[in-house]
């Protein structure tokens, strides 16, 4: 006989927590229609009463419902009473996934979950030794980009104990190089934020805001202190504007829909930024941005006699102008 299930995920690192919750959601949904099965509550506006209502809502056109509640740690234990009481006899057709966040989960909530064979899952990355090595290798193996041994070693050494940064790094590499790209340490190194360098999203964020001066300063730091070749910077820009172009004309209105359309895993924040830029630029400016990127790419490969640094400065300045 089917029964309700509940999982409570907790941990101090948001990126690791989000990964674990995403994997749980995918497993629970399986081959079912996501739009019919899944309901998510997040942000600062939802109430505990809304959570209880969502848990009690029967499935429509499906056998089960998956209810995901994010950031439940903003509530005090007394405010959780309606949910705790509901868990004494929840609907058998609901799977509840709670992304608690950091801090201790109230014992009353954990005990209520355990009465229906629920569980609290504490998420964290091992800091040293074989456990850390194994944890990193598992994530390398399941990444959508293919990292060769030299790239894996470089990333492992660079991250040290700060392994929570791995998710964001892999998402950046996917955005720049694409799914199933085979990468060595040479392709990975520019995105590690070497001493004196800057992460690539600092450049695209400044361009998106139309801040030409800031964008040019970031570009100069990337190519000078950061040691990035102009073609590596071009790869970053191509990846960024490719997302924008793929969303243009789709009538997508939410970051979740945008992330699904772009087939992004993990955080939906890059999809939100791309969607915001689609609205800011509009079709004509997006087309112009793609034209500028294409022309500069050809110029960098030998068509123009200008120095690569100069070509990139011209490109970045023009792209920032489009965002005004």
Q: What is the pLDDT of residues 135-188, one digit of tens each?
A: 888 889 988 899 999 999 988 887 766 677 787 788 778 877 888 889 998 888
pLDDT, one tens digit per residue, over 255-295 is 889 988 988 766 678 888 899 999 999 999 999 999 999 99
CA angle 144, 15, 238 (to 5 degrees): 45
Q: Which residues make up the CATH 1.20.272.10 domain(s) of the chain?
A: 193-324
Band of residue 235 on the pLDDT scale cut at 50, 70, 90: confident
What CATH number has the domain spanning 193-324?
A: 1.20.272.10
Which pLDDT does position 301 carry in this prediction?
Answer: 83
- What would the two tokens of residue 287 be? 């087309």
Give whole-number Cα distances, 129 to 125, 126, 310, in Å: 11, 8, 46
Residue % of the chain over a pLDDT of 70: 93
Architecture of domain 5-122: 3-Layer(aba) Sandwich (3.40)
Q: Of the given ranges (12-21, 186-195, 205-214), which has the lowest mean pLDDT?
A: 186-195
Helix axes 166-177, 230-247, angle to 10 degrees: 80
Q: How confident is the model at residue 58 (pLDDT cuts 50, 70, 90)?
A: very high
Q: Residue 101 pairs with which residues in a beta bridge? A: 10
Region 300-307: mean pLDDT is 83
Domain with CATH 3.40.50.300 in the chain: 5-122
Sequence-ordered list of residues with C-beta below 8 angstroms from that of 76, at least 6 positions apart, any chain = none
Cβ contact 206:316 at 8 Å: no
Q: What is the pLDDT of residue 170?
A: 84
Q: Does the pLDDT value for residue 79 go beyond 50?
A: yes
Predicted local distance difference test score (pLDDT) of residue 224 = 72
pLDDT at residue 103 above 80?
A: yes
Domain span(s) for CATH 1.10.8 in the chain: 126-190
Average pLDDT of the chain to the nearest whole number? 86
* pLDDT for position 324: 79
309: confidence class by pLDDT, cuts 50, 70, 90 = confident
Mean pLDDT computed over 33-56: 92
Residue 195 — pLDDT band, cuts 50, 70, 90? very low
10: nearest Cα among 108, 106, 105: 105
CATH fold of 126-190: Helicase, Ruva Protein; domain 3 (1.10.8)
DSSP state of 62: S
Q: What is the mean pLDDT of residues 238-242?
A: 90
Given this model, what pLDDT does residue 126 score?
66
> Percent of the chain, pLDDT > 90?
45
pLDDT of residue 196: 42
Query: Would the pLDDT of 4 be above 70?
Result: yes
Looking at residue 186, its pLDDT comes to 86
Q: What pLDDT does residue 149 have?
A: 93
Average pLDDT over residues 14-20: 80
Between 69 and 225, whose confidence is greater? 69
Per mean pLDDT, which of 111-125, 165-179, 190-204 is the most reliable?
111-125
pLDDT value of position 227: 66
Q: Which residues contact 31 (CB under 8 A, 6 or more apart)?
A: none
Provide mean pLDDT across the span 85-96. Answer: 92
Q: Would you state the pLDDT for residue 129?
A: 67
Residue 97 has pLDDT above 90, yes or no: yes
């Amino acid at each position: 006989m089917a029964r309700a299930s509940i999982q409570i995920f907790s941990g101090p690192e948001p990126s690791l927590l989000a990964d674990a919750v995403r994997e749980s959601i995918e497993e629970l949904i399986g081959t079912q229609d996501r739009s019919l099965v899944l309901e998510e509550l997040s942000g600062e506006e939802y109430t505990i009463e809304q959570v209880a209502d969502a848990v009690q809502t029967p499935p429509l056109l499906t056998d089960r419902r998956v209810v995901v509640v994010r950031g439940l740690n903003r509530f005090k234990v007394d405010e959780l009473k309606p949910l705790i009481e509901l868990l004494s006899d929840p609907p058998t057709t609901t799977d509840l996934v709670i992304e608690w966040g950091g801090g201790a989960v109230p014992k009353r909530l954990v005990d209520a979950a355990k009465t229906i064979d629920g569980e609290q899952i504490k998420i964290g990355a091992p800091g040293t030794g074989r456990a850390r090595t194994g944890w990193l290798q598992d994530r390398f193996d399941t990444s959508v980009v293919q990292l060769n041994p030299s790239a894996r070693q470089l990333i492992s050494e660079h991250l040290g104990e700060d392994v929570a940064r791995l998710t964001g790094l892999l998402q950046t590499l996917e955005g720049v190089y694409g799914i199933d790209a085979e990468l060595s340490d040479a392709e990975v190194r520019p995105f590690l934020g070497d001493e004196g360098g800057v992460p690539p999203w600092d450049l695209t964020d400044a361009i998106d805001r139309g801040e030409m001066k800031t964008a040019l300063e970031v570009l100069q730091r990337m190519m000078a202190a950061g040691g990035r070749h102009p073609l590596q910077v071009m790869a970053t820009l191509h990846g960024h504007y490719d997302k924008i172009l793929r969303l243009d004309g789709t009538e997508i209105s939410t970051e979740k829909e945008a992330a699904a359309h772009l087939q992004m895993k993990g955080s939906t924040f890059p999809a939100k930024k791309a969607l915001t830029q689609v609205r800011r630029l509009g079709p004509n400016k997006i087309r112009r941005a793609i034209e500028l990127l294409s022309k500069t790419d050809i110029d960098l490969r030998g068509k123009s006699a200008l120095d690569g640094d100069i070509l990139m400065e011209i490109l970045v300045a023009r792209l920032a102008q489009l965002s005004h």
